């Protein structure tokens, strides 16, 4: 990931999501398609944001839109039909209007790393289309997660 190593995994504060691998996830070579890992990261990010209180309904209500501006992906090992993916991710860094997230996708049965990625999201004002500072309530929850505190419910 740009020459850097994976960030430290917090003892607490990580968001974990598990999914089955379906036939529609497999490409012609019999492995999970690279594009599926991007879809899975979207599913994980949606769950992560919901735990902060930024559900899709809340985004529509407030007009605060967490927008992906960067996505780095390293594919480490192929996954196949019959496996289950465990996604575990956490806050890597918090900026004024941005958050860097680290996500690892592993075989839930063997814990082997299949994919790792870094996602940078920027808070955008849905009315103006401009970046906006992270509201203090969300910033506090993000900071607690980054410090290894409990994941917000």
Query: How far are the Cα atoms of 23, 25, 120 from residue 102, in angstroms, in the given order?
Result: 27, 22, 9
Q: Would you state the pLDDT for residue 147?
A: 81
The CATH number given to whatever domain includes residue 59 is: 3.10.129.10
Residue 98 lies in a domain: yes
Residue 55 lies in a domain: yes
* Nearest Cα residue to 87 out of 72, 102, 101, 106: 106
Report the chain (153 residues): mean pLDDT per 10 consecutive residues. 60 87 95 96 96 92 96 96 96 96 97 96 96 95 79 43
- pTM here is 0.88
Tally of domains within the chain = 1
Residue 7 lies in a domain: no
Q: Would you state the pLDDT for residue 11?
A: 66
Q: Would you state the pLDDT for residue 152?
A: 44
Residue 29 lies in a domain: yes
Q: Which residue range is the domain that position 45 belongs to?
A: 15-146
Distance in angstroms between the alpha carbons of the first and the last residue of the chain: 30
Residue 57 lies in a domain: yes
Residue 32 lies in a domain: yes
Q: Phi, psi at residue 48, to the nearest 5°?
A: -55, -50
Q: Would you state the pLDDT for residue 146?
A: 85
C-alpha span between 16 and 9 (Å, rounded): 12
Residue 9 lies in a domain: no
Residue pair 72/91 in contact (Cβ under 8 Å)? The answer is: no
| DSSP-H helix ranges across 11-135 | 34-52, 56-62
Residue 96 lies in a domain: yes
Q: Would you state the pLDDT for residue 3?
A: 47
């Amino acid at each position: 990931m740009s020459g850097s190593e994976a960030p430290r995994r917090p003892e607490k504060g990580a968001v974990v999501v598990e999914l089955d691998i379906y036939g529609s996830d497999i490409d012609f070579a019999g492995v999970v398609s690279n594009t599926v890992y991007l879809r899975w990261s979207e599913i994980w990010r949606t769950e992560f944001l919901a735990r902060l209180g930024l559900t899709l309904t809340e985004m529509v209500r407030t007009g605060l839109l967490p927008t992906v501006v960067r996505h780095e992906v390293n594919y480490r090992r192929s996954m196949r039909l019959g496996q289950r993916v465990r996604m575990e991710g956490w806050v890597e860094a918090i900026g004024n209007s941005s958050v860097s997230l680290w996500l690892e996708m592993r075989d839930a049965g063997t814990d082997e790393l299949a994919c790792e990625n870094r996602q940078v999201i920027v808070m955008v004002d849905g009315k103006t289309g401009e970046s906006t500072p992270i509201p203090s309530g969300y910033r506090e929850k993000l900071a607690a997660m980054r410090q290894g505190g409990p994941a917000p419910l």
